[in-house]
């Protein structure tokens, strides 16, 4: 401190000039209050003020406060930018190859949230959990912060070194490989092609970590073209899915979910619901939504599809021999009935399969052709670029590489050293190469083995484009300058071709020459570009796909595959909704996202059916050893009802190097346990269990054995009781169905729209009828249980929007997950023959809220718009409100959750307070969005329109399962739903009067008899 007392500090020019009184400008609350006191300051008020100041100073000094950061205003405010107002930029998601249209919400120059682009013709406003979470990757401080090659760490040096190394390869015969996942970007494809063309032997190897090459190969054989069709679920009234998890993880779930739900509309004039049959070996998210589901061993899938083909052929007067099939996994009459339904919906049906057996896919193609689905629900004229992987080429690449004959390898967007069963050898081979280049954004198994690390920028930092489905092109625009010294792949390639250009020029040039000529209407390029950039997409003409017709006789019966002998199990590796193939395993939001079916987080595990677990005498969390061909891994067990008894399902994407970072995630205290295993990684890598040398890489492998090993590893599940009925072993009150989920069948619903709602409560003689008056708005929400697939995108959207903290595995295991929006999943029915329901659950904003009257300090109060508001800074944390919440939606800050990664903090939504330790939080109906929309309407001088406000969960929902609006507006959608005969309120009988309504779950079934689960009637005394 300076002792120079003559120095005088001034707070404004006026003060310096002596034109204002400093104290008036800087008065504090205390000073203001003292001024109000008559006769200025008397002794009592002085003492009071002094006491208050002292107490406040003590309190302020005693507690840890968040550091105060100065906000500095713009010196020159950019045009159109107003601090605090969000700007949305249209772009396209790069979380996977599906290419969903997005809007990036920017606040004060930084992207904070991704939203689905509602105008996008393919995805129609939905965005999945991975897409929602991909924004966190931008602010990942563990990304490569610049290029690296030996000692060089600037782009100029690395470029120079690489060019020097590449020079001898340009003319040589050694192949130069460019390994990528499916490229849905035309400009990227063109750049890679051009780059490889500069080598005499350049090869582009495309593989998908979760391969669908069998579909491409099958179409090559049956239709003569190696293309991936666009499946039109929006036209398919009968859907038969054979092990394809199209609502969860298969190819393009958002597109498929939107299409699928468009045919399952129950509230219109004529209720309609497509009929969905799922034949699968494990319980997939799609299986949980099926109207009819069969558990079939993976080996029996071929026979099933062959028998179905034969049945369809008989009914469509074609022939298909199924004589080779000896027995059927499905009852013969069921296959007949299914074929009947398929044929009845000729041209409006769809058979899809996730199998990697080309023969199975060919039979599917036969069925779809026999049903006239090609050109209707299976679109080959608008093929998809979401899957292009060619496993045959990949196999050649791998063998060349392992033989040491590869000249150079470039790897972008994939992690072969982890993805492939030969991963370890690939890493060694890459390390032995002179030129191996990785574009990985963050260190992974492959990039660590590569000589050159040329990190690609995050997709939100780069220019690009996408044409995931032929005819719909999108531009990807950067929404922030690269945070690190990374360089977009397009620019790297341009630089190495000797024509350094910035990304925008590359994309524009390509669009001008290639995309613009395909556009309709003959607008000038500049205008076409601007319009497309603003909208995020454009519909353009496509080159017609000639000659893609089914060649008769190209498919034949699939003979039974050999089951493993005796006690042998089949290992089925599967992608989880959040983790998928593992490329987002760095993302803590996705690690903490409960799997929609198992509700487990932060781990992979060996799923066993109820019967299998019983026969092995294991229960959840017991460690087991899974053995296939000398490869062994040890995993905890998860008991998964509805799985085939001879299947062990294990999730992919775990045990990756990028999960090392999670060793210190979450609160650290004396009894906390790390989120990583003993090897320092999250979950186990199961590459060792996968089969090598397959023509089409498959996720299934027969002949596994499983034995119980020692120890337990409790799983971190957000839900540990899974049934809708009370525990069977409880005398008297056991096995009683709780009526928080009300469901019926389509047949019953058509008869009586209130079907499935046994308890409709009417409360007469309310003591406090007009406890709250809602003169203006009265916000409400409706959730359609029939529409919700459980995909959990809303959970992550809410996570991103509302700054929900991540607790880590131990906190979840202690049942302290912080999600404001959760999806409850219940099973009904006996043993493994279960029905599944997903019930999104968030604060119900009750009009008679039980939380409100128990808070001693009025930290949770009712607003005049019907919101149950939580006042964070008033909360002292007694947790009484959470105890007294019938829905258990309140979340308590058990610790000060870590916000020490300053870069990661950039993703925080500035409109939502970051909660400190010791206070309660919960869903606010996105009150910040309500206020933003109200302010916007006020500013424009217009009335708030229905649909202006979309909470984050509703916005991202591809199935349109969530509707939010003003219940006081009789014309609003929510008002109509609130009057729908299908609506019910959860726990209506306790009369807390929730503002959230649920629409009964309707399954497309003839009657209740099909599943016993639906027969259980709620009991009442």
The structure tokens listed for 1019 are: 């009991």
Q: If binding is defined by CB under 8 A, does position 83 make contact with another protein? A: no
Strand positions, DSSP E, 752-850 = 779-784, 822-828, 835-841
- Closer CB to another protein, residue 117 or residue 288? 288
Number of other residues whose CB lies within 10 A of the CB of residue 85: 14
- Closer CB to another protein, residue 581 or residue 811? 811
Q: If binding is defined by CB under 8 A, does position 60 make contact with another protein? A: no
Site for another protein (CB under 8 A): which residue of 841, 927, 959, 1002? 841
The structure tokens listed for 322 are: 């199924």
Q: Identify the three-state secondary structure at position 808.
A: coil
| Nearest partner of 945 among 977, 976, 972, 979, judged by Cα | 972
The secondary structure of 940-975, three-state, reads HCCCCCCCCCCCHHHHHCCCCCEEEEECCCCCCHHH
Site string for another protein, 650-669 (x = CB under 8 A): -----------------x-x
Minimum Å distance from CB 868 to another protein? 14
Cα–Cα distance for residue pair 881/884, rounded to 1 Å: 5
| Nearest partner of 795 among 953, 913, 603, 602, judged by Cα | 953
Site for another protein (CB under 8 A): which residue of 16, 156, 876, 945? 876
Minimum Å distance from CB 1018 to another protein? 7
Q: If binding is defined by CB under 8 A, does position 874 make contact with another protein? A: yes
* Total residues at interface with another protein (CB under 8 A): 78
Minimum Å distance from CB 825 to another protein? 7
Find where tokens 């120890």 sit: 711
Minimum Å distance from CB 813 to another protein? 10
Q: Interface residues for another protein in 416-445 (CB under 8 A)?
A: none
- Closer CB to another protein, residue 80 or residue 856? 856
Q: If binding is defined by CB under 8 A, does position 270 make contact with another protein? A: no
Q: Interface residues for another protein in 494-533 (CB under 8 A)?
A: none
Q: Interface residues for another protein in 901-960 (CB under 8 A)?
A: 917-920
- Closer CB to another protein, residue 296 or residue 851? 851
Stretch that binds another protein, among 315-323, 454-462, 568-576, 869-877 (CB under 8 A): 869-877
Site for another protein (CB under 8 A): which residue of 50, 82, 730, 945? 730
- Closer CB to another protein, residue 259 or residue 790? 790
DSSP symbol at 565: S
Question: Cα 99 to the chain's mean position, in Å?
Answer: 13
Site for another protein (CB under 8 A): which residue of 40, 76, 671, 902? 671
Q: If binding is defined by CB under 8 A, does position 712 make contact with another protein? A: no
Site for another protein (CB under 8 A): which residue of 93, 301, 558, 736? 736
- Closer CB to another protein, residue 61 or residue 68? 61
Minimum Å distance from CB 637 to another protein? 19
Site for another protein (CB under 8 A): which residue of 839, 954, 955, 1014? 839
Site for another protein (CB under 8 A): which residue of 34, 118, 611, 886? 886
Minimum Å distance from CB 896 to another protein? 7
The structure tokens listed for 763 are: 């409360």
- Closer CB to another protein, residue 315 or residue 814? 814
Question: Cα 988 to the chain's mean position, in Å?
Answer: 31
Q: Interface residues for another protein in 982-1021 (CB under 8 A)?
A: 986-987, 990, 992, 1018-1021
Q: If binding is defined by CB under 8 A, does position 592 make contact with another protein? A: no
Cα–Cα distance for residue pair 792/797, rounded to 1 Å: 9
- Report H helices in 903-951: 927-940
Q: If binding is defined by CB under 8 A, does position 863 make contact with another protein? A: no
| Nearest partner of 875 among 852, 845, 843, judged by Cα | 852
Query: What is the full DSSP assignment across 254-307?
Result: HHHHHHHHHT---SSSS----EEEEEESS--HHHHH-SEEEE--GGGHHHHHHH
Minimum Å distance from CB 828 to another protein? 11
- Report H helices in 657-792: 746-751
Q: If binding is defined by CB under 8 A, does position 806 make contact with another protein? A: no
CB 149 within 8 A of CB 451: yes
Q: If binding is defined by CB under 8 A, does position 726 make contact with another protein? A: yes
The secondary structure of 95-157, three-state, reads CCCCCCEEEEEEECCEEEEEEECCCCCCCCCCCCHHHHHHHHHHCCCCCCCCCEECCECCHHH
Q: Interface residues for another protein in 968-987 (CB under 8 A)?
A: 986-987
Site string for another protein, 818-837 (x = CB under 8 A): ----x-xxx-----------
Site for another protein (CB under 8 A): which residue of 890, 929, 983, 1005? 890
Site for another protein (CB under 8 A): which residue of 272, 738, 934, 976? 738
Cα–Cα distance for residue pair 479/461, rounded to 1 Å: 6
Nearest-5° Cα angle at 211, 352 to 458: 115
- Closer CB to another protein, residue 652 or residue 855? 855
Site for another protein (CB under 8 A): which residue of 323, 732, 764, 940? 732
H/E stretch holding 534 reads helix 525-535
């Amino acid at each position: 401190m300076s002792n120079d007392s003559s120095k005088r500090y001034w707070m404004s020019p006026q003060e310096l000039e002596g034109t204002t009184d400093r104290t008036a400008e800087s008065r504090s609350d205390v000073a203001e209050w003292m001024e109000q006191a008559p006769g200025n300051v008397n002794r009592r008020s002085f003492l009071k003020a002094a006491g208050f100041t002292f107490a406040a100073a003590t309190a302020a000094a005693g507690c840890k406060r968040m550091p105060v950061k100065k906000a500095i205003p713009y010196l020159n405010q950019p045009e159109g930018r107003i601090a605090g107002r969000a700007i949305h930029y249209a772009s396209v998601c790069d979380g996977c190859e599906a290419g969903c249209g997005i809007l990036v919400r920017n606040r004060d120059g930084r992207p904070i949230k991704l939203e689905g682009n509602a105008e996008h013709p393919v995805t129609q406003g939905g965005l999945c959990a991975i897409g929602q979470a991909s924004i966190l990757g931008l602010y990942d401080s563990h990304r490569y912060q610049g290029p690296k090659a030996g000692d060089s760490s600037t782009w100029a040096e690395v470029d120079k070194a690489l060019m020097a190394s590449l020079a001898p390869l340009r003319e040589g015969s050694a192949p130069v490989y460019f390994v990528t996942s499916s490229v849905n970007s035309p400009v990227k494809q063109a750049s890679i092609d051009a780059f490889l063309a500069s080598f005499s032997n350049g090869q582009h190897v495309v593989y998908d970590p979760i391969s669908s090459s069998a579909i491409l190969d099958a179409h090559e054989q049956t239709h003569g073209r190696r293309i991936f069709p666009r499946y039109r679920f929006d036209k398919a009234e009968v859907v038969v899915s054979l092990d394809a998890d199209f609502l969860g993880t298969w190819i393009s779930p958002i597109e498929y979910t939107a299409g699928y739900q468009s045919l399952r509309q129950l509230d219109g004039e004529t209720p309609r619901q497509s009929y969905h049959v799922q034949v699968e070996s494990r319980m997939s998210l799609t299986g949980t939504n099926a109207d009819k589901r069969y558990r079939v061993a993976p080996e029996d899938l071929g026979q099933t599809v062959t028998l179905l083909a034969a049945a369809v052929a008989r009914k469509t007067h074609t022939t298909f021999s199924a004589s080779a099939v000896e027995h059927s996994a499905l009852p013969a009459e069921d296959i007949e009935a299914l074929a009947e339904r398929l044929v009845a919906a000729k041209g409006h049906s769809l058979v899809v399969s996730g199998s990697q057996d080309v023969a199975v896919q060919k039979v599917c193609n036969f069925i779809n052709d026999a049903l006239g689905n090609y050109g209707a629900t299976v679109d080959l004229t608008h093929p998809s670029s979401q899957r292009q992987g060619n496993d045959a080429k990949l196999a050649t690449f791998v063998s060349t590489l392992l033989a040491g004959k590869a000249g150079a390898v470039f790897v972008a967007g994939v992690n072969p050293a982890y993805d492939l069963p030969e991963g370890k050898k690939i890493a060694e081979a890459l390390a032995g190469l002179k030129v191996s280049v990785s574009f990985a954004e963050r260190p992974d198994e492959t990039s660590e083995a590569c000589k050159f690390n040329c990190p690609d920028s995050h997709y939100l930092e780069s220019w690009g484009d996408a044409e995931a489905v032929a005819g719909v092109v999108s531009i990807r625009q950067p929404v922030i300058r690269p945070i690190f010294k990374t360089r977009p792949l397009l620019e790297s390639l341009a630089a190495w071709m000797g024509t350094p250009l910035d990304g925008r020029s590359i994309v524009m040039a390509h669009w001008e020459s290639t995309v613009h000529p395909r556009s309709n209407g003959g607008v000038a390029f500049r205008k076409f570009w601007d319009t497309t950039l603003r909208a995020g997409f454009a519909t353009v003409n496509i080159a017609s796909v000639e000659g893609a017709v089914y060649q008769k006789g190209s498919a034949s019966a699939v003979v039974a595959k050999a089951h493993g002998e005796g006690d042998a199990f089949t290992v089925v590796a599967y992608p989880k909704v959040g983790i998928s193939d593992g490329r987002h395993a760095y993302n803590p939001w996705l690690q903490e996202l409960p799997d929609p079916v198992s509700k487990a987080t932060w781990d992979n595990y060996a799923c066993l059916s109820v019967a299998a677990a019983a026969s092995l005498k294991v229960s959840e969390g017991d460690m087991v050893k899974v053995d296939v061909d000398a490869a062994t891994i040890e995993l905890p067990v998860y008991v998964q009802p509805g799985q085939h008894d001879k299947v062990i399902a294990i999730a992919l994407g775990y045990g990756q190097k990028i999960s090392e970072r999670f060793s210190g995630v979450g609160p650290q205290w004396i009894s906390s346990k790390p989120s990583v295993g003993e090897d320092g990684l999250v979950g186990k890598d199961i590459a060792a269990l996968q089969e090598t040398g397959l023509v089409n890489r498959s996720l299934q492998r027969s002949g596994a054995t499983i034995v119980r090993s020692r120890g337990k590893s409790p799983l971190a599940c957000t839900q540990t009781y899974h049934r809708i009925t009370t525990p069977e072993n409880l005398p008297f009150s056991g096995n009683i169905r709780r009526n928080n989920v009300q469901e019926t069948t389509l047949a019953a619903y058509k008869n009586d729209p209130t079907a499935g709602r046994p308890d409709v409560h009417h409360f007469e003689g309310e003591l406090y009828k007009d406890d709250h008056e809602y003169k203006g708005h009265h916000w409400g929400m409706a959730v359609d249980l029939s529409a919700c697939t459980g995909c959990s995108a809303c959970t992550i959207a809410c996570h991103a929007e509302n700054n929900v903290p991540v607790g880590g595995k131990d906190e979840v295991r202690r049942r302290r997950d912080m999600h404001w929006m959760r999806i409850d999943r219940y099973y009904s029915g006996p043993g493994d023959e279960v029905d599944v329901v997903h019930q999104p659950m968030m604060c119900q904003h009750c009009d008679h809220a039980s939380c409100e009257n128990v808070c001693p300090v009025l930290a949770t109060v009712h607003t005049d718009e019907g919101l149950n508001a939580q006042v964070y800074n008033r909360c002292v944390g007694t947790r009484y409100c959470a105890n007294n919440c019938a829905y258990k939606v309140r979340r308590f800050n058990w610790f000060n959750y870590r916000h020490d990664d300053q870069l990661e903090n950039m993703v925080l939504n500035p409109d939502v307070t970051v909660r400190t330790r010791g206070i309660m939080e919960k869903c606010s109906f996105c009150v910040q969005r309500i206020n933003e929309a109200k302010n916007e309407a006020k500013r424009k001088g217009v009335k708030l329109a229905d649909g202006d406000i979309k909470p984050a969960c509703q916005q991202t929902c591809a199935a349109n399962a969530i509707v939010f609006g003003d219940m006081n507006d009789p014309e609003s959608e929510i008002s109509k739903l609130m009057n729908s005969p299908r609506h019910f309120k959860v726990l209506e009988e306790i009369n807390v009067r929730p503002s959230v309504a649920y629409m009964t779950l309707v399954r497309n079934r003839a009657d209740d008899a099909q599943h016993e689960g639906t027969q259980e009637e709620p009991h009442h005394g």
